[in-house]
Amino acid sequence: MKDSPEEIHKYLSPLLEGEVLVDRLSRLLYSTDASIYEVEPKAVVLPRTVEDVLRVVKFAGEEGVPVFARGGGSGLAGESLGPGIIVDFSKYMNHILEVNEAEGFVRCGPGIVLSVLNEALAGYGRLFGPDPASGSRCTLGGMLGNNAAGMHSIYYGVTRDQVISLEAALPDGSLHSFGKESKEKPQSEPKDNFHLAVVEPLVGLLQESQPLIQAKAPRTRRNTCGYLLDGVLKDGQVDLARLLVGSEGTLALITQAKLRIYDLPKAKALLILHFDDLDKAARAVPLLLPLEPCAVELMDRSVIEATREAFPEYASLLPGELAALLLVEFLGGSPDEVGARAEEARKITESARLACGTSMALDAASQDRLWEMRKSVTPALLRLPGDKKAIPFIEDTAVAPEYLAPYIQGQKKILEKYGFQAAIFSHAGDGLCHTRPLVDIRSSEDVGKMPQVASEIYDLCLSLGGSISGEHGDGLSRSQFIPRQYGALYEVMRQVKDIFDPQNIFNPGKIITRGQDIMTSNLRRLPRVEGLYPQNRLAFSAGEYVRELANCNGCALCRSPLPEVTMCPMFKALAEEGASSRGKCNLLRYGLIAALGEEEWAGSELQEIFDKCLACGMCTVDCPSGVNVLKLVLDMRGRLAEEQGISRASRALITFEALSRLCSWFAPLVNYFSAQPMLRFMLEKITGLDSTCELPHFSRNNLKRHLKNNSPGSDHKVAYFADTFASFSDPEIARALVSILEKSNIETVLPKQKGAGMPALAYGSLKRARRR
């Protein structure tokens, strides 16, 4: 049995075009996601081709090694974590293969990010409907695994509704197309092994179980709990693709998807309804649905206050006295049409004496700002101070909208009973409730209450005909509770698993499980450290280092490939988990809990990972959780420099400011010779700087000379501290700033200054940086 990391690498590496990673650091990087869990895998495979996937699956089936499909790692229930082979589709299998405008579909790989797909489709005037808040980094494979939905699902439906067909691998390494087909093949047609082993037994099981399937179907539009068996048999056909969606990679590994796409809307109107009571906001939702809004989003007082505090730029949109808020959007053919429906919605809620105030956004810029505010809710909650965090473990329940008000009231009573405060926001138009209790997962008392709270809230949800899982999947959070929702139907689901995956190779322990304490097992480890961490090289206050690492919840925004998301340009270039801010925080956390041995700390692999940082600081600016990633990285670089030394190339870059000042005096000569291949070859031998890298140009006409010759006097003055590039390499940047100030009648003054020592700090020479 070839199941050790070394044996897996030895066998698979020669067979695959993609990458096979088995080193300890890579395995730790893939042991977490955006959930509260961690499980270390044995290997990580980054497949380049479908053939790579088939070879991995065939090997896993033969050797009994579990396989776990993964996309952006933005899942909230630990769906993609496991102790076998992680197959990460996001790096290579992320392409659009076909856009068919005439028939209204797109074919793409499972690793493509949702926002990347929609940016491409916008060029055709189209979009893919489901829009989870994590769309800037979640992949289509993850959306298919979870049956994702998002804020506009009452209009577009869920991911399951968009699937035309899927291509997927079965545990024997065979590739099949999954879509609609006749329940019974004509006798004249030959039956292959797939039909004999999978399709026929499945059809027979589902036909026999139809009364039970119908009886156990939740009375809600949102459900992704267990296997979604409803609608798989319909009109004499079996739709295998509908069965795979929401199965979390436990039945097959999806390698390609053919999906419906929609025309971009012609007109939108966004109504904002204010409430002085949360119950009134929930009771308003059923009154709005007959007007056919495309989205109805609810935020409670705690969510509003957290968002105002974390993101002051949205304060004007969120009056401080509100108890709740509804965002209600309408789509239509013209501004007049959608405006009239929004106005009617306003009148309905006011005449029912529910809303205490309203406003309306009709232009695209205002609407975009409001939706960005809504998407900032989870990041705002993650920034709440203290050890208790708004964690996901009961955050995905759904009831019919008419039961939303009593359901929220009941939830609050249960949470108060156990002493938990909670933030509540909701895709209210679908009755889906994202409840986030404030929990310290390092507290055994808090963790001990989690299953009890979940049990009582799930019982309440089911008593109202709801589902315990609406869009985030089951994973490690909810799989143990699935039998409670389905009863005898759970055994049918177990048989479905046996038909597709008799060896239990695909994502074992998710959906089909016999475990009773999965929810609180494998929780992410983080010790409670109140004082100073002795290994720190930079100045941290008591407890600050641990708090920074604890605040990284793994949301994966630092993995976004979108240009407008400025966080982590290094990840955009390399598409490696270790290059992301999340990856570095996770490794530092593992160092803190002594999960890394001395060999890992002393190895060059760790140095290479922390070298994959430009020290640009955009992670610190844009991290949704407010983690000071740059400070953490610079602290670690200082430690590594002390223990392993500083490379020749880094030493050369540390002196860049002094060299730039000198080179600017001889700029024409330096620029000429630095472009010569022979000189660059010599520089590489002397300094270690790669000869293929383009060296910066220098300018004699630096900012100081420019101001001396051109700056007019003024009563209004600004002191400008220019960086090295603006001073000596790209003075046009500085001159543009000065020009703007001059046109505003402001004189620019250049005080006597020297560099802040950032190059030394960035490359680990902390002693030199302190001297600056």
Give the pLDDT confidence of 666-705 residue by residue, as tens digits: 888 888 888 888 888 888 888 888 888 888 888 877 666 6
Contact between 290 and 276 under an 8 Å Cβ cutoff? The reply is: no
Instruction: Return the beta strands (E) in 89-140 as ranges.
Output: 96-100, 105-108, 126-127
Average pLDDT over residues 615-625: 90
The per-residue pLDDT for 187 is 63
Q: Does residue 57 have a pLDDT over 90?
A: yes
Separation of CA 29 from chain center: 15
The per-residue pLDDT for 705 is 67
Alpha carbons 381 and 740: distance in angstroms, whole number: 39
The per-residue pLDDT for 535 is 77
Neighbours of 387 (CB within 10 A): 17
Q: Does residue 657 have a pLDDT over 90?
A: no
Type of residue at 761: L
Q: Does residue 327 have a pLDDT over 90?
A: yes
**52-66, 275-289, 608-622: range with lowest mean pLDDT:** 608-622
Average pLDDT over residues 205-219: 97
Type of residue at 446: D
**56-65, 162-171, 707-716, 751-760: range with lowest mean pLDDT:** 707-716
Alpha carbons 518 and 510: distance in angstroms, whole number: 10
Average pLDDT over residues 607-622: 91
Model confidence at 210, pLDDT cuts 50, 70, 90, reads: very high
The per-residue pLDDT for 186 is 63
Model confidence at 713, pLDDT cuts 50, 70, 90, reads: low
Contact between 241 and 163 under an 8 Å Cβ cutoff? The reply is: yes
Report the residue count for the chain: 772
Nearest to 495 by CA among 674, 229, 689: 229
DSSP for 591-612 reads: HHTT-S-HHHHHSHHHHHHHHS
Q: Is 296 helix (H, G, I), strand (E, B) or coil?
A: strand
Alpha carbons 573 and 570: distance in angstroms, whole number: 5
Alpha carbons 761 and 276: distance in angstroms, whole number: 51
The per-residue pLDDT for 15 is 97
pTM: 0.94
Q: Where are the alpha helices (DSSP H) in 521-580?
A: 544-551, 569-574
Contact between 299 and 319 under an 8 Å Cβ cutoff? The reply is: no
Alpha carbons 490 and 509: distance in angstroms, whole number: 14
Average pLDDT over residues 211-235: 96
Give the bridge partners for 108, in sequence order.
96, 257
Average of per-residue pLDDT values in the chain: 93
Separation of CA 246 from chain center: 18
pLDDT in tens, 573-603: 999 999 999 999 999 999 888 777 777 777 7
Instruction: Return the beta strands (E) in 416-553 as ranges.
Output: 422-427, 432-439
CA distances from 276 to 322, 332, 355, 423 (A): 6, 30, 8, 16
Alpha carbons 320 and 302: distance in angstroms, whole number: 11
The per-residue pLDDT for 710 is 61
Alpha carbons 646 and 173: distance in angstroms, whole number: 47
Helices and strands counted in the chain (H then E): 35, 24
Average pLDDT over residues 501-528: 93
Average pLDDT over residues 700-714: 66
Residues of the chain above pLDDT 70, percent: 97
The answer for residues whose C-beta is within 8 angstroms of residue 124's C-beta and 6 or more apart is 99, 101, 261
Q: Does residue 185 have a pLDDT over 80?
A: no
The answer for residues whose C-beta is within 8 angstroms of residue 215's C-beta and 6 or more apart is none
Burial class (CB in 10 A: 0-12, 13-18, 19+), 531: exposed
Contact between 220 and 400 under an 8 Å Cβ cutoff? The reply is: yes
Nearest to 440 by CA among 396, 384, 377: 384
Nearest to 561 by CA among 119, 17, 149, 30: 119
The answer for residues whose C-beta is within 8 angstroms of residue 77's C-beta and 6 or more apart is 35, 392, 396, 472, 473, 474, 475, 476, 477, 478
Contact between 439 and 446 under an 8 Å Cβ cutoff? The reply is: yes
pLDDT in tens, 520-575: 999 998 876 666 677 788 999 888 898 899 899 999 999 999 999 989 999 999 99
The per-residue pLDDT for 596 is 78
Longest dimension (CA), the chain: 95
Identify the structural domains of the chain with CATH numbers, from first to last.
264-383 (3.30.70.2190), 544-645 (no CATH), 651-762 (no CATH)
Residues of the chain above pLDDT 90, percent: 73
- The larger pLDDT score, comparing residue 603 to residue 241, is at 241
pLDDT in tens, 388-434: 999 999 999 999 999 999 999 999 999 999 999 999 999 999 999 99
Tokens 């008419």 appear where?
A: 402
Q: Where are the alpha helices (DSSP H) in 581-711?
A: 581-592, 598-602, 604-611, 618-622, 629-644, 648-654, 656-665, 667-674, 677-687, 703-710
DSSP for 704-737 reads: HHHHHHHPPP-SSEEE----HIIIII-HHHHHHH
**Parallel, antiparallel or unpaired: strands 295-300 and 233-234:** unpaired
Which helix (H) or strand (E) is 286 found in, with range?
Answer: helix 278-288
The per-residue pLDDT for 711 is 59
Kindly tell me the sign of the dihedral angle through the C-alpha atoms of 435, 134, 41, 525.
negative
Two structure tokens written together for 107: 């074919």
Per-residue burial over 116-146, b if 16 or more Cβ lie within 10 Å, else e, is: bbbebbeeeebbbbbbbbbbbbbbbbbbbbb
SS3 per residue for 324-349: EEEEEEEEECCHHHHHHHHHHHHHHH
